[in-house]
Amino acid sequence: MLLDFDKLGAWKWILSAVCALMALFLLLPILFIVALSFGDSRWLIFPPQNWTLKWYGELFADPRWLAAAWTSARIALIVMVLSVVLGLLASLALTRGTFRGRAVLRAFFLTPMVLPVVIIAVALYAAFLRLGLNGTLAGFVIAHLIVALPFSIITISGALETFDPSIEDAAILCGASPWEARFRVTLPAISHGLFSAAIFSFLISWDEVVLAIFMASPTLQTLPVKVWTTLRQDLTPVIAAASTLLVALTILLMIVAALIRKGKSR
Amino acid sequence: MSSPYLHINGIRKTFGEVVATDHVELEIAEGEFMTFLGPSGSGKSTTLYILAGFQDPTAGDIRLRGRSILQTPSHKRNIGMVFQRYTLFPHLSVGENVAFPLRVRRAPQAEIAAKVRRALSLVRLDGFEDRMPAHMSGGQQQRVALARALVYDPPVLLMDEPLSALDKKLREEIQHEIRRIHQQTGVTILYVTHDQEEALRLSDRIAVFNTGKIEQVGTGPELYASPATHFVADFIGNSAFLAGDLVAIGAGRASLRFADGTVLADIPMHGTGLAGGKAELMLRPERIELTAQPGLSGASLPVTVEDVTFLGNSSTVSARTGWGEVLSVRMNFGHPMMGQVRQGDALHVRWQPQHAHVFAKA
Ligand SMILES: Nc1ncnc2c1ncn2[C@@H]1O[C@H](COP(=O)(O)OP(=O)(O)OP(=O)(O)O)[C@@H](O)[C@H]1O
Ligand SMILES: [Mg+2]
């Protein structure tokens, strides 16, 4: 290898230090929030003097927090299912289709990834005003689907591209109807891609805050929006507790996604 | 006359301007091992895909036991196929791969277990039921694919260059297996390859494809001994061709004059030609020999030795004719002249009169 780590001499230590600092830089906010959620100071004093679980108690006792979490979960689950189903259909068209303009269509499907989210949010807000979708579950789902779908399409297309269509042909000659072949052979063979797409779609919706702020109403808001609005009213450590739980679920799902990828490459 | 078992009846397939197959006509007997041999792009796979139902012919018909199968969708044709690429279902074990055709047919569990065991035993993979395809070699995967294609007793087994991804030694090993399996099961096989050795080793009959047409159908020895066209003569056995003019024609024989005026008379001729037209003399390297003396008239040519290459059990001598064309002559180990031929020697190339052929050029 051109750059062999073991042969770098003093650089080795500098590089290691930079990496450690980077990791700290990325992790510190999370550690900070987690520590605060277990500290007993009402004023978010860092470092905490004593440890307590009372903020978690308050969180679970407050129906508004629970309602927000339930809303978030419902939206994320619906987005997850729709994103995988639509992403699969779009990916099939993009990888198997022979129609003209496929490349253009693919680029078009991916534009929400590069468009600033605020712009999507403003556009949707204006459109939903006319349709009466602001503050509804459907409004949230549509908004989150727009940003989740590109990831779904990339992941599932990638899995489909490594799947040889001759395998589907073989299943058909074995006596499976074309749909049976797709369900019994193609889908299981790309299941790692479907799982990854599902997890990322869920997480995108679960963590999303900009679109959600635009879509939210006083009676219907997601967990990140609840964190945001609460933060502007008073600085209670309950926010830290809620944030910690948000991060915990995210990390858990990321680990699952990593395990799926590792299982696939084994 | 009873109808043939499998009748490929005037199949034509075009892709826009490209003619992939042009009026392919072939009758295959039950239990026959028929090979499609031809260069890349000659329409072999297209013909198989039409049989499998993955493509519809532009014209023509396919009849199995007298009945057209073109209206039957692929998954109801009951045909078996082994592909060039590895097509085992990656998420299923070897046993479940082989069981798949029986499961979609809703066969009873006991029957499935028995048939899977029998099919795996046929390809000598007993006890591999629980292996995953990713943990098997290419040769093993193709054997599993073969077991999967045979487990439902298809009336016809299609094989599209199933061994082309394997190395030479493994390929020969599996060729033996395929031959044994054919004899053991009696299944009718249509096999595609562009490897003439493979075709000769496996087949009962060979159909030689060229640019979408069948040039000749026959057993290996027939194709070798009496090729119908220049293409077949060239593709089966690495023949040498010498270009000349036809000077006299009669009763399936011709005389040929070469560029330096040498005339060879009375050679068996294929195809139709006119005196004065162009033609080629075909000589097989193993049917000709180098001698110091000229042979019978019409069955030898004077040559100069260009180069000698030692190849172990034989040597190849490049010999230049009087008008500058170069012929390869094979000399087996132990030939009296081996080791004596030197570059620049003036010798003669000699053959038995029946082993030369003239092909008129269209
Ligand atoms: N789907 C297609 N679209 C357009 N042209 C095609 C298609 N399939 C085959 N052809 C053309 O038809 C001709 C015959 O192709 P075919 O695949 O039957 O050849 P082959 O004899 O199997 O060659 P090979 O040994 O390379 O597999 C080729 O010229 C090929 O380019
Ligand atoms: Mg082919």
B220 and B294 inside one domain: no
| Ligand nearest to the Cα of B41, by number | 1
* Domains: count for chain B: 2
Is A183 part of the contact surface with chain B (CB cutoff 8 Å)?
no
Is A180 part of the contact surface with chain B (CB cutoff 8 Å)?
yes
What does the alpha-carbon distance between residue A121 and residue B6 come to, in Å, rounded to a whole number? 65
DSSP, collapsed to helix, strand or coil, labels residue B81 as strand
Residue B318 domain boundaries: 238-360
Looking at residue A260, what is its pLDDT?
Answer: 81
A136 and A223 inside one domain: yes
Contact: A175, B149; criterion CB under 8 Å: no
- Does residue A56 lie within any of the structural domains? no
What does the alpha-carbon distance between residue B303 and residue B347 come to, in Å, rounded to a whole number? 5
Is B149 part of the contact surface with chain A (CB cutoff 8 Å)?
yes
B202 and B246 inside one domain: no
Q: Tell me what the mean pLDDT of segment A164-170 comes to.
A: 93
A131 and A229 inside one domain: yes
> CB of B356 within 8 A of CB of B292?
no
* Residue type at position B22: D
pLDDT in tens, chain B (362 residues): 578 999 999 999 999 999 999 999 999 999 999 999 999 999 999 999 999 999 999 999 999 999 999 999 999 999 999 999 999 999 999 999 999 999 999 999 999 999 999 999 999 999 999 999 999 999 999 999 999 999 999 999 999 999 988 888 889 989 999 999 999 999 999 999 999 889 999 999 999 999 999 999 999 999 988 888 888 988 887 788 888 888 888 777 888 888 888 888 888 887 777 778 888 888 888 788 888 888 776 688 888 998 888 888 888 888 898 888 888 888 887 777 777 888 888 888 888 888 888 888 76
Is B69 part of the contact surface with chain A (CB cutoff 8 Å)?
no
Q: Is the peptide bond before B336 cis (omega within 30 degrees of 0)?
A: no
Residue ranges with CB less than 5 Å from ion ligand 2: B 45
Task: Report which DSSP code applies to A62.
Answer: -
Confidence band of A106 (pLDDT split at 50, 70, 90)? confident
B305 and B197 inside one domain: no
- Give A219-256 pLDDT, tens digit per residue: 889 999 998 988 888 888 888 899 898 889 889 988 98
* Domains: count for chain A: 2
Q: Ligand 1 center to residue B73 CA distance, Å?
A: 22
DSSP, collapsed to helix, strand or coil, labels residue B28 as strand
> Atom 29, ligand 1: which residue's CA is nearest?
B41
Which neighbouring-strand residues pair with B61? B9
Residue A244 domain boundaries: 63-265
Among the atoms of ligand 1, which is closest to the Cα of residue B13? Answer: 12
Where among B179, B203, B232 does a domain terminate? B232
Token pair in block for residue B256? 């040929």
What does the alpha-carbon distance between residue B268 and residue B57 come to, in Å, rounded to a whole number? 39
What is the distance in angstroms between the Cα of A155 and the nearest Cα belonging to chain B?
Answer: 19
- Does residue A141 lie within any of the structural domains? yes
Where among B232, B258, B286 does a domain terminate? B232
What does the alpha-carbon distance between residue B179 and residue B182 come to, in Å, rounded to a whole number? 5
Which neighbouring-strand residues pair with A145? none
| Domain CATH for B204 | 3.40.50.300
B210 and B305 inside one domain: no
Task: Report which DSSP code applies to A217.
Answer: B
A170 and A122 inside one domain: yes
Contact: B101, A170; criterion CB under 8 Å: no
> CB of A36 within 8 A of CB of A48?
yes
Looking at residue A212, what is its pLDDT?
Answer: 92
- The whole-chain average pLDDT of chain A stands at 89
Nearest residue in chain B measured CA to CA from A185: B89
Contact: B85, A175; criterion CB under 8 Å: no
CB atoms within 10 A of CB A201: 27
Is B66 part of the contact surface with chain A (CB cutoff 8 Å)?
no
Is B15 part of the contact surface with chain A (CB cutoff 8 Å)?
no
A70 and A179 inside one domain: yes
- Does residue B155 lie within any of the structural domains? yes
A19 and A80 inside one domain: no
Where among B232, B263, B279 does a domain terminate? B232
Token pair in block for residue A203? 């997480």
**Sign of the torsion angle spanned by Cα atoms A174, A178, A182, A183:** negative
Q: Which residues of A touch B162 (CB under 8 A)?
A: none
A78 and A188 inside one domain: yes
CB atoms within 10 A of CB A32: 14
Q: Tell me what the mean pLDDT of segment A70-82 comes to.
A: 95
B222 and B205 inside one domain: yes
A19 and A106 inside one domain: no
Write out residues with Cβ below 6 Å of ligand 1.
B 15, 18, 20, 38, 40-46, 194
Q: Which residues of B touch A172 (CB under 8 A)?
A: 74-75
DSSP, collapsed to helix, strand or coil, labels residue B202 as helix
Q: Tell me what the mean pLDDT of segment A110-120 comes to.
A: 90
Number of H helices, E strands in chain A: 13, 0
What are the residues whose beta carbons fall under 8 Å from the beta carbon of B292, sequence distance 6 or more?
A: B347, B348
B295 and B167 inside one domain: no
How far are the Cα atoms of A25, A201, A247, A259 from residue A254, in angstroms, in the given order? 19, 12, 10, 9
What does the alpha-carbon distance between residue B223 and residue A48 come to, in Å, rounded to a whole number? 92
What are the residues whose beta carbons fall under 8 Å from the beta carbon of A26, sequence distance 6 or more?
A: none
B353 and B298 inside one domain: yes
A151 and A250 inside one domain: yes
What is the distance in angstroms between the Cα of A193 and the nearest Cα belonging to chain B?
Answer: 13
Is B74 part of the contact surface with chain A (CB cutoff 8 Å)?
yes
B183 and B274 inside one domain: no
- Does residue B36 lie within any of the structural domains? yes
Looking at residue A264, what is its pLDDT?
Answer: 64
Among the partner residues B54, B92, B104, nearest to A169 by beta-carbon distance: B54
Q: For residue B59, what is the enclosing H or E element?
A: strand B59-64
CB atoms within 10 A of CB A239: 22
> CB of B334 within 8 A of CB of B358?
no
A109 and A231 inside one domain: yes
Report the complex ipTM: 0.82
> Atom 2, ligand 1: which residue's CA is nearest?
B15
Most ligand 1 atoms within 8 A of CB, residue of B13, B14, B18 to mutate? B18
> CB of B332 within 8 A of CB of B285?
no
* Rounded (5°) CA angle B323-B324-B330: 115
A198 and A127 inside one domain: yes
A197 and A152 inside one domain: yes
> What one-character-per-residue DSSP string does A96-154 give?
H---TTHHHHHHHHHHHHHS-HHHHHHHHHHHHHHHT-TTSHHHHHHHHHHHHHHHHHH
B217 and B328 inside one domain: no
B190 and B286 inside one domain: no
- Does residue B1 lie within any of the structural domains? no
Whether pLDDT at A30 is above 80: yes
Nearest residue in chain B measured CA to CA from A266: B134
B192 and B275 inside one domain: no
- Does residue A198 lie within any of the structural domains? yes
- Does residue A203 lie within any of the structural domains? yes
| Domain CATH for A146 | 1.10.3720.10
- Does residue B344 lie within any of the structural domains? yes
> CB of B162 within 8 A of CB of B103?
no
DSSP, collapsed to helix, strand or coil, labels residue A140 as helix
What are the residues whose beta carbons fall under 8 Å from the beta carbon of A124, sequence distance 6 or more?
A: A139, A142, A143, A146, A211, A214, A215
> Kind of pairing, strands B278-283 and B59-64?
unpaired
- Does residue B29 lie within any of the structural domains? yes
Among the atoms of ligand 1, which is closest to the Cα of residue B42? Answer: 21
Question: Closest Cα to residue B210, out of B358, B29, B20, B32?
Answer: B20
> CB of B101 within 8 A of CB of A175?
yes
A75 and A161 inside one domain: yes
Confidence band of A124 (pLDDT split at 50, 70, 90)? very high
> Kind of pairing, strands B240-250 and B278-283?
antiparallel
The total number of residues shown for chain B amounts to 362
Among the atoms of ligand 1, which is closest to the Cα of residue B38? Answer: 21
- Does residue A53 lie within any of the structural domains? no
What is the distance in angstroms between the Cα of A170 and the nearest Cα belonging to chain B?
Answer: 7
Q: Which residues of B touch A194 (CB under 8 A)?
A: none
Looking at residue A206, what is its pLDDT?
Answer: 92
